[in-house]
Amino acid sequence: MNLQSFLISQEASIKDALASIESNTHGVIFIIDDQNSVIGIATDGDIRRKLVTDADLNSSIGLCANKSFYWADETVSRESLIKKLDEKIKIIPILNNEKNLVDIVTKDSMPILAEEAVYTRSKSPVRVSFGGGGSDLTHYFSGDIGAVINATISFYSHATLRLRSDSKISITSLDLKDSLHANNLEDLMEPKSGFGLIQSVIKTIRPNFGFELDLYSDFPMSSGLGGSAVVAASILGCFNELRQDRWDLHELAELAYQAERLYQGIEGGWQDQYATVFGGLNFMEFKMEQNLVHPLRLSQNNLHELEESLILCDTDTTHNSGNIHSDQREQMQNEDIKKLVQANVKLCFEMRDQLLRGRLNDFGHSLHKAWKFKRELSSQISNKKLDKIYDDALSNGAIGGKLLGAGGGGYFIFFVPHSQKLKLIEHLNKNNLKTRPFRFESEGLKSWTVREPKL
């Protein structure tokens, strides 16, 4: 729109004003003073009425100026403009602080909503595993069927991603208490202690732009809660928000596995990636041709009761899951160990049925069996300290439980009947074993885009 065709000096003639109105085709002219400030408005109707009374075509247009007109400044909201146009105001001049005309709004020329800078965010939950551990390893289910039961809970890894206008990359991790800065993607791939997983995820994505990535988690590292897969998923979630062709849940889980297992070279199973991406309480089957995730639909009463019957206990020790899985791979050559995993898978099917039928105490006893099977898979899974924690918990009300993750440290999950729960909590507190309250998380990886706030 040509703004000059709407402006005329207050000394100009009515004849010139009518020519400008004819030119802009909007039936109106804005009258300006010597400083180009808009001091009034005149419509073709205003001019006709003046000509009929006491003016002629050579008279000054300033005589026709309506100085009580509606205008808006540059900060006006679209909502306000729309409401004024809806009130039958046909044209709205937008004026700056000096009252100079900077834009004109009509119903056919509303300001375009310019794209603002955005950032993406995501969060992905950790999981507690109940049974079938060891059978989600590829070297096991390449010759047999693997099966596990797990549930996501209310601890998360969080990620925020901002795009840059250059190729530089900046990654900050509160978990690592460190930052990584690079001039470009190639530079980012230079190994740096602690950032191996993050670098592997970025290598999987291969973004062609610079970015700033901030990461933090609600849980400690090496906790047995599947944390590395959770961090990987949260990063993938942020980048997925920028794609037109979004990765689906299976693809996200596969990418997380690819980053950790293939690129970073850490031994481990498949359940952590699927658990954090899909979320909820699930029975998972692992086969070479495909992995299947079956949500377990418990009644709300049974789900709440299961949640209340579980205690998450921090052993105050960490573990190296890769080393344990490497040992398990070697042990799997032993036929007796393979039979233990098969028995664990069979038990996992029984635990699935117990949950679906609401036989929660039976499920608690099955947790105990699952732990006995698991600790026989490798000498690195348990030790005297962990055995004592578990045996003492059984002596103080728990009927079952297991160490989460690969083993060697991290968290225990205990199943305790309601009549014994306070006794067990008191025992754990007395022995300086921290319990962490949690709730089941029905959703997995979540990601969203937010417009950068204007300062």
State the catalytic residue, choosing from 272, 314, 387, 391: 272
272 assigned to active site = yes
Please report, in angstroms and rounded to a whole number, the separation of the first and last CA atoms in the chain.
30
pLDDT tens track for 409-433: 789 999 999 999 999 999 999 999 9
Per-residue pLDDT at 149: 97
Is-contact 268 406, C-beta < 8 A?
yes
Domains 3-105 and 119-430 share a fold: no
Is-contact 135 147, C-beta < 8 A?
yes
The β-bridge partners of 216 are 158
Is-contact 131 403, C-beta < 8 A?
no
CATH of 3-105, one of 3.30.365.10, 3.30.70.360, 3.40.1380.10, 3.10.580.10: 3.10.580.10
Let me know if domain 119-430 sits in CATH 3.30.230.120: yes
Residue segments in the chain with a per-residue pLDDT below the cut of 50: none
User: How far, in whole angstroms, is CA 394 from its chain's centroid?
Assistant: 38
Per-residue pLDDT at 321: 55
Per-residue pLDDT at 447: 98
Give the count of beta carbons closer than 10 Å to the beta carbon of residue 329: 15
The full set of domain ranges for the chain reads 3-105, 119-430
Per-residue pLDDT at 143: 86
CA separation for the pair 108, 118 (Å, rounded) = 28
Give the count of beta carbons closer than 10 Å to the beta carbon of residue 418: 10
pLDDT tens track for 65-75: 999 999 999 99
pTM here is 0.85
What backbone torsions phi and psi does residue 118 show, to the nearest 5 degrees? -130, 165
**Residue 349, both tokens:** 């099917």
CA separation for the pair 355, 440 (Å, rounded) = 15
Per-residue pLDDT at 14: 95
